[in-house]
């Protein structure tokens, strides 16, 4: 198909962990992709990596996605939008300024610019399981979360610390998106995706000089945990605070599948590959005598934790989840290739 006739998808945050996978998946699916970047040099890595597809990729510099109208130009002629960019931090001085406002205002700006995009058919917002779970009730054994659940976090609670602030940022931003759809009644459809912890091999630009910390927050925690270097568990393999997860490649496929939903369909999807502790993913690495792993840690008994109903994503989007062991092994091999594992 000539490039000029391929549908054009705007991806916010294509240089990040998830955004790079969405970018890669949509190119393989036959779309043209345009990425928003904060500065021109951010495009260099992706431009070089996908030089053979240069006619299908482009970039728009958006220094601050929170500024009103910042995305008007980038969105003017697009068919679809995947709003992936949002900070994932939990160690912050001011949860409101560093987490909530960027997430909420960034989402609102995407939505307002989308109203001015005449060709737009569907807008996908990457939310989080943090907007679904009631963390005050965790681990909540016996309870199964669905798309009908919402995190009841309040504005007052959101100011407590970075962990609560992050959950609030995702909750408030997603609620703002659905409220926008209800009040503005745009011509385009809305899909929100709510994944838990996201793991998988990195495709984005990683600086090996920064060590494991140079990956991203979730991969750094996974690798530090399975190497037995988490201070809270050392020398054993760590137990994750949130044992629900999804492979980043499955999340990218969910974005692609959501673009193909029939016109007039606006839906919320909860995604989850399983309930696991880090040790559950190490069977294969231990069996082959892999060096560098921590001492055996705890394994997960799903009966001690809440469950997540993934029926909707599986039936509507056709998602087939990657086994946790493969996800962990692929992260390990990627880290080795980057020189992060001896």
| Structural domain boundaries, residue 10 | 3-202+245-273+307-321
> How many structural domains is the chain composed of?
1
Any domain includes 58: yes
* pLDDT of 29 over the 90 cut: yes
Q: Among 24-28, 32-36, 39-43, which is the least confidently predicted range? A: 39-43
Length of the chain: 342
Any domain includes 207: no
Confidence of residue 197 (pLDDT cuts 50, 70, 90): very high
d(CA 280, CA 278): 5
* pLDDT of 2 over the 70 cut: no
d(CA 264, CA 272): 25
Contact by Cβ (8 Å): 269, 311: no
The mean of the pLDDT values for the chain is 95
- Cβ contacts of 159-164, under 8 Å, gap ≥ 24: 159/95, 159/96, 160/95, 161/95, 162/89, 162/90, 162/91, 162/92, 162/95, 162/98, 162/99, 163/90, 164/95, 164/135
Average pLDDT value for residue range 83-110:
87
Any domain includes 294: no
pTM (two decimals): 0.96
Any domain includes 236: no
Three-class SS of residue 16? coil
Any domain includes 209: no
Contact by Cβ (8 Å): 23, 33: yes
Contact by Cβ (8 Å): 108, 180: yes
Neighbours of 181 (CB within 10 A): 17
Three-class SS of residue 264? coil
In tens, the pLDDT along 111-157 reads: 999 999 999 999 999 999 999 999 999 999 999 999 999 999 999 99
Any domain includes 278: no
Any domain includes 39: yes
Closest CA to 195 of 317, 27, 298: 317
In tens, the pLDDT along 259-290 reads: 999 999 999 999 999 999 999 999 999 999 99
Q: What is the CATH number of the domain that holds 9?
A: 3.40.50.720
Q: In this structure, is the dihedral angle defined by the CA atoms of residues 245, 249, 253 and 256, taken in order, positive or negative?
A: positive
Any domain includes 283: no
* pLDDT of 35 over the 90 cut: yes
* pLDDT of 86 over the 80 cut: no
């Amino acid at each position: 198909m000539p490039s000029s006739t391929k549908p054009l998808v705007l991806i916010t945050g294509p240089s990040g962990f998830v955004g790079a996978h969405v970018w890669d998946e949509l190119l393989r699916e036959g779309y043209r992709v345009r990425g928003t970047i904060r500065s021109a040099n951010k495009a260099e890595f992706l431009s070089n990596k996908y030089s053979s597809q240069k006619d299908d990729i482009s970039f728009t510099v958006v220094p601050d996605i929170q500024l009103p109208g910042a995305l008007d130009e980038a969105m003017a002629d697009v068919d679809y939008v995947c709003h992936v960019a949002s900070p994932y931090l939990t160690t912050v001085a001011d949860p409101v300024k560093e987490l909530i406002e960027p997430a909420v205002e960034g989402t609102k700006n995407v939505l307002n610019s989308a109203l001015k995009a005449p060709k737009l058919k569907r807008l996908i917002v990457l939310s989080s399981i943090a907007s679904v779970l009631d963390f005050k009730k965790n681990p909540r054994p016996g309870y199964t979360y669905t798309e009908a659940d919402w995190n009841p976090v309040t504005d007052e609670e959101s100011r407590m610390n970075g962990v609560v602030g992050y959950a609030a940022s995702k909750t408030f931003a997603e609620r703002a998106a659905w409220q926008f759809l209800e009040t503005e009644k745009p011509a385009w459809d809305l899909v929100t995706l709510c994944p838990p912890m996201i793991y998988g091999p990195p495709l984005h630009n990683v600086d090996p000089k920064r060590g494991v910390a140079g990956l991203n927050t979730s991969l750094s925690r996974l690798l530090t945990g399975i190497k037995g270097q988490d201070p809270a568990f050392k020398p054993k393999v760590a137990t994750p605070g949130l044992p629900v997860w999804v492979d980043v490649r499955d999340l990218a496929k969910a974005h692609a599948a959501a673009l193909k939903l029939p016109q007039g369909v606006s839906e919320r999807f909860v995604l989850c590959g399983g309930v696991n502790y880090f040790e559950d993913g190490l069977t294969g690495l231990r069996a082959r005598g892999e060096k560098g792993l921590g001492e055996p840690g705890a394994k997960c008994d799903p009966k001690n934790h809440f469950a997540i109903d993934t029926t909707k994503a599986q039936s509507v989007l056709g998602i087939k989840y990657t086994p946790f062991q493969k996800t962990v092994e692929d992260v390990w091999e990627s880290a080795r290739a980057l020189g992060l594992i001896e």
